[in-house]
Amino acid sequence: MTTSLHPYSLIVFDTDGVLTDTAVVHAAAWKELFDEYLARRGEREGRHHEPFDAVGEYLALVDGKPRYDGVRSFLAARGIELPGGAPDDEPGTETVCGLGNAKDAHFQERLARDGVDAFPDAVRLLDRLDAAERPAVAVSASRNARDVLGVAGVRERFAAIVDGVESDRLGLAGKPDPALFLVAADRMGVDPERAVVVEDAVAGVEAGRRGGFGLVVGLDRVGQAAALRDAGAHVVVGDLDELVLDPNGGRP
């Protein structure tokens, strides 16, 4: 079964997990951070803290969110209160920002060591969009998005990139707030109802729906189709080959 993108003027892609196979890298970096912190805290308190669940807790609490928001969500779920701190806190400082900065350091190390690939189905869809002269924008809550897209070899495929650096500069709220997506559409001069959002995270799907986008596509790479539908996806697909440009929904 296919879904036609023909009626829409702009395609807005989330980055991690949609365009690039970085969700697993982020999940591993979050696990490294939280397991280290929980072990250190448990030793101090004389009690055991369950390790971070790099599937369930990752998807429910941190996936698609800005880094510090992810830290806050996880700590709240575990009943842990920490001061917010400041963005220049040293990585590992026992503040929200310090833990978030440590996560970023773990991610950067893994990215430099292992690299990252673009998903083949994402590259094929970008090829179809190029052939149809249809613009695409990449959006990410991550400050590392441009580096990730560059390492994956697809950064030049996008008419614009709205990332965590831009979000900080403009003071935008993180997903599920639709601000990132709305800035992307505005930058291209396209009304949201004429644009598509493609997201693999529940928070991102909710953001697209709240932003009034004409089509919100949930991409289910990890078996959370029901959660994506519940968050407001108009359609859920298993891979990006199901998104076509033929007005009749057939493959070009």
Contact 90, 206 (CB under 8 A): no
- Predicted local distance difference test score (pLDDT) of residue 23: 80
Asked if pLDDT for residue 41 goes beyond 90, the answer is yes
Sole residue written with tokens 């990252």: 116
Distances (CA, A) of 196 to 11, 12, 138, 192, 213: 5, 6, 12, 8, 6
- Predicted local distance difference test score (pLDDT) of residue 249: 58
Contact 199, 15 (CB under 8 A): no
- Predicted local distance difference test score (pLDDT) of residue 252: 35
Q: How many whole angstroms separate alpha carbon 208 and alpha carbon 223?
A: 20
Give the residue extent of every domain in the chain: 3-21+116-244, 24-114
The predicted-structure confidence for 136-161, as pLDDT tens digits, reads as follows 999 998 888 999 999 999 999 999 99
- Predicted local distance difference test score (pLDDT) of residue 79: 97
| Mean pLDDT within 226-240 | 97
Respond yes or no on whether the N-terminal peptide bond of residue 178 is cis (omega within 30° of 0).
Answer: no
Q: How many whole angstroms separate alpha carbon 61 and alpha carbon 68?
A: 12
Q: What percent of the chain has pLDDT over 70?
A: 98
| 113 CB-near residues (< 8 Å, 6+ apart) | none
Q: Is residue 14 flagged as an active site residue?
A: yes
pTM for the whole thing? 0.80
- Predicted local distance difference test score (pLDDT) of residue 3: 95
Catalytic hit among 16, 63, 69, 163: 16
Distance from the Cα of residue 152 to its chain's centroid: 16
Asked if pLDDT for residue 42 goes beyond 80, the answer is yes
Q: How confident is the model at residue 251 (pLDDT cuts 50, 70, 90)?
A: very low
CATH code 3.10.20.600 for 3-21+116-244: no
- Predicted local distance difference test score (pLDDT) of residue 134: 95
Q: How many whole angstroms separate alpha carbon 157 and alpha carbon 126?
A: 7
- Predicted local distance difference test score (pLDDT) of residue 123: 98
The predicted-structure confidence for 74-128, as pLDDT tens digits, reads as follows 999 999 999 999 999 999 999 999 999 999 999 999 988 989 999 999 999 999 9
Q: How confident is the prediction for the chain on average, in pLDDT?
A: 94
- Predicted local distance difference test score (pLDDT) of residue 65: 85
E strand intervals along the chain: 3-4, 10-14, 136-139, 160-162, 195-199, 215-219, 235-237, 243-244
- Closest residue by Cα to residue 67 from 114, 24, 102: 102
| 227 CB-near residues (< 8 Å, 6+ apart) | 59, 202
Q: How many whole angstroms separate alpha carbon 105 and alpha carbon 177?
A: 26
Cα torsion 108, 110, 111, 113 to 10°: value is 120
Q: How many whole angstroms separate alpha carbon 126 and alpha carbon 124?
A: 5
The predicted-structure confidence for 187-220, as pLDDT tens digits, reads as follows 999 999 999 999 999 999 999 999 999 999 999 9
- If one compares 249 and 227, the residue with the highest pLDDT of the two is 227
Q: How confident is the model at residue 246 (pLDDT cuts 50, 70, 90)?
A: confident
Q: Which DSSP string corresponds to 177-191?
A: SSHHHHHHHHHTT--
Q: Is residue 186 flagged as an active site residue?
A: no
